[in-house]
Amino acid sequence: MERLQKILARAGLGSRRSCETLIEAGRIRVNGYVAKLGDKADPQRDRIELDGRPITNAEPLTYIALYKPKGVISAVKSPDQRPTVCDLVPVPERLYPVGRLDADSEGLILLTNDGELTNRLTHPRYGHEKEYRVLLSRHPDEEQLGIWRRGVVLEDGYRTSPVEVHVEAQFGKETWLRVVMREGRKRQIREVGARIGLPVVRIIRVRIGTLRLGSLKPREWRHLTPEEVAALKGQPGKARPRREKSDPKSRKSGESSYPLRASKKGRRR
């Protein structure tokens, strides 16, 4: 016997939390009875229904890494006319974004129908790292970087957790930073920058846990390898991730491994 939300998540109905919402809404029945949170079932013996339709064979588990471009929202359905990350990945399975990015940010998004993995990557107790390249419109001083590293009190009174912040490159009036954090409140990097006088121009997420953006370009996507999936699930014997590093031989001195602006040629409409 398993908790009902785990069975629903494994069947591809969303994250464990979203499946709990289905149960709370009275949309799930087990053997004809409306289910309640905390109920358990045996998927091999019990009849489990969503809105009167039986849940039979689960969809094959699918794992996709996507480079989300700016202007695309991290959602299954759009509240307006903007495209969603799911619009960019035409596959038959119903996938859900893990590790959301605001519309103005770009970079790595994981799409999957594995509710157990979604819970593992999003629950605060696991503390998975997320790594970003952040472009500032000015050069930071050591005092500003120290404040960011120790934690910043946001406008609503929340104090951010300590983070890793390192300068990667400076040229002109702008600076590329590498920021590694274990939390992710909405627009946190932008708000922190604004609070300490460092306006953020661009944010690119390059890593979620052990999964890296790699060579993906905006709007490009790929299926994860079995090794990548196993590493995300924390299976033993998998190496810890290397932080993304720029190759000094592949660029001129002072340039970032990520361009200041996405070229028109590199964008796909």
How are beta strands 200-208 and 106-112 bridged, if at all? parallel
CA distance 132 to 243: 10
Task: Decide: 115 and 9 in contact? Cβ < 8 Å.
Answer: yes
Q: Cα separations (Å) of 182 from 136, 151, 199? A: 21, 12, 22
Our CA angle for 7, 13, 18, nearest 5°, is 90
- Which residue, 103, 117, 118, is CA-closest to 68? 103
What does the buried/exposed string (b/e) look like for 145-167 if buried means 16 or more CB atoms within 10 Å of the residue's CB?
Answer: bebbeeebebeeeeebeebebee
102 is catalytic: yes
Instruction: Return the residue matching tokens 């890494």.
Output: 65
Catalytic residue among 39, 46, 87, 102: 102
User: Catalytic positions, please?
Assistant: 102
